[in-house]
Amino acid sequence: MKRIILFILLITVGINSFAQEAKLNIKSLNAKNNTVVIQIPVDGAWFYPAKKEIKFDADSTVNYSLKINKIAWLRINNNTVLIEPGTTRLVFDKGILVHSNKNNEGMLLFNKRNTEFYQYRARDYYKKDSTTAGLYQLLENDKNEAVKPYTELFSKQKISANFYNEIKRYFSTEEVILEAAIPMIILSTKQKINSDLDKMWADAYKKHPINNVKDAFYPDFYHHARYYASTYLHYYLPLKKGKKPLEKSEDENLKNCYKSFEDNFSGKTKEYLLATFLYDEMLQSKYQRILVDLFTSFKSSYPKSNFSPFLQPFADKILAYQKDIKKDYKANEKFVANYYEINSLDSLMNRFKGKTVFVDIWATWCGPCKAEFEYSAGLEKFLQAKGVEMLFISMDKDVADQRWKEMIKYYKLSGSHIRTNNALQKDLIDRLWEGKGYAIPRYLIIKDGKLVVADALRPSDKEKLYAQISKFL
């Protein structure tokens, strides 16, 4: 009995020595709203949907506590902070971190680092030097230069040892992720890489295996792991042996990607990567039923996962979507007659002579486009009151035809609808984007068959947009 009690006491002491309380005192100056957004760790890892929104009162202060080990990464109002046990007092001005009572200079310096997407940086490194020896030297030099000011701060006792060590780990992880990204980027552009880049790619994974969930603090860790499993293991290595991947359906690709995480990772790292994969795909709002099935599999494998509560709302939206698309179109959800024969914007506008039309150019894959649908009810009410027509132009390809028609129902898009053929899409790109590709959402105002505003305000602009449209009534 004494041995059992001693064992329990030892466990308790061990737990308490790791889990310690960290208190945050957050002051917001000149804030746009009275909300502080804290991205909290889940099982010690960054998980993007795990956010806590806290309202502050007249004193503009928020207090928040959480259990951490020696040190933890948080994002507060999109600023990265490292907190240690005890009380950390943070001051934000217009949403930007300006002061911390702990590791102040280090914290401010870290939030000025280069945050460009790692694949763009990898591409730029290769432009500077295409030899692996030169690339290794560039990466090592840049890592050392990045760490240097923190070394000086540590020598002056302006940052703690825990903070300093964590910063060094961050830039070391970044170096390896960039090493793996360079050969991948070259492969994607040239469809082949030389033996030196081949070795560089393999060595990156040997040097720093993707098996520590603590590395998830690095923003691009998930993408690094995904490209290892899907591109390196399941595309590049078979390609070296002369095996070209077969074309597969979207659902098959999602299942295969999920399985690649299952097969090539273990422990908490696997659980985190599977959860992040599901979140990343559900976030695209394509509402694929297969993602609900994969989430069900995830919950079966991890019945007590702390990630599941953050994924469930996304799964519920998919189920609601699958239910809504079975309904008939409403009378005010209509398609432009013979829309597939319309090859130019002028031809399309001729269909609306004598009318004022607000045009929404969107696509089913465009997240910002779909985010604007949140304001459709207010816009529809205004347009109906003023006798203005609504026209939706989808830039989707033929393969997305069914999803386009489904989303009209799901988002309750009242108005006329057309999906561009190749000729119409090219004409729109030439007319609106000078032939240099396109960026959506994009909004137009048409009056009596003529384009009068080529870059109108968004539905989320509400009254400002309504005033803009009113000029052409």
Domains and CATH numbers, the chain: 18-103 (2.60.40), 113-245 (no CATH), 247-324 (no CATH), 333-470 (3.40.30.10)
Rounded to 5°, angle at Cα 15 from 12 and 18 = 150
Q: Which secondary structure element, helix H or strand E, spans residue 82, and what is its range?
A: strand 79-83
- Look at residue 8 in the predicted model and tell me its pLDDT: 37
Mean pLDDT of the chain: 93
pLDDT, one tens digit per residue, over 337-357 is: 999 999 999 999 999 999 999
pLDDT band at 18 (very low <50, low <70, confident <90, very high): low
- Look at residue 354 in the predicted model and tell me its pLDDT: 94
Q: Work out whether the CA dihedral 367, 371, 377, 381 comes out positive or negative.
A: negative
- Look at residue 217 in the predicted model and tell me its pLDDT: 87
Would you state the torsion angle of the CA atoms of residues 299, 304, 310, 316, taken in this order, to the nearest 10 degrees?
40
- Look at residue 70 in the predicted model and tell me its pLDDT: 85
pLDDT, one tens digit per residue, over 78-101 is: 999 999 999 999 999 999 999 999
Closest CA to 210 of 184, 177, 253, 238: 177
Please give the Cα distance from 382 to 380 (Å, whole number).
5
Please give the Cα distance from 164 to 103 (Å, whole number).
9
- Token output for 115: 């945050």
pLDDT, one tens digit per residue, over 422-469 is: 999 999 999 999 999 999 999 999 999 999 999 999 999 999 999 999
**Does the pLDDT of residue 314 top 60, yes or no?**
yes
Please give the Cα distance from 66 to 85 (Å, whole number).
9
Q: What are the backbone angles phi and psi of residue 114, rounded to the nearest 5°?
A: -70, 115
Please give the Cα distance from 89 to 82 (Å, whole number).
12
Q: How crowded is the C-beta side of 418, counted as CA atoms within 13 Å?
A: 25
pLDDT, one tens digit per residue, over 147-186 is: 999 999 999 999 999 999 999 999 999 999 999 999 999 9
- Look at residue 14 in the predicted model and tell me its pLDDT: 42
pTM as predicted: 0.86
pLDDT band at 9 (very low <50, low <70, confident <90, very high): very low
**Span between the terminal Cα atoms of the chain, in Å:** 87
Closest CA to 88 of 17, 177, 162, 173: 162
**Does the pLDDT of residue 332 top 80, yes or no?**
yes
- Token output for 144: 């050392």
- Look at residue 191 in the predicted model and tell me its pLDDT: 83
- Look at residue 258 in the predicted model and tell me its pLDDT: 97
CB 388 within 8 A of CB 426: no
pLDDT, one tens digit per residue, over 115-138 is: 999 999 999 999 999 999 999 999
CB 178 within 8 A of CB 121: yes
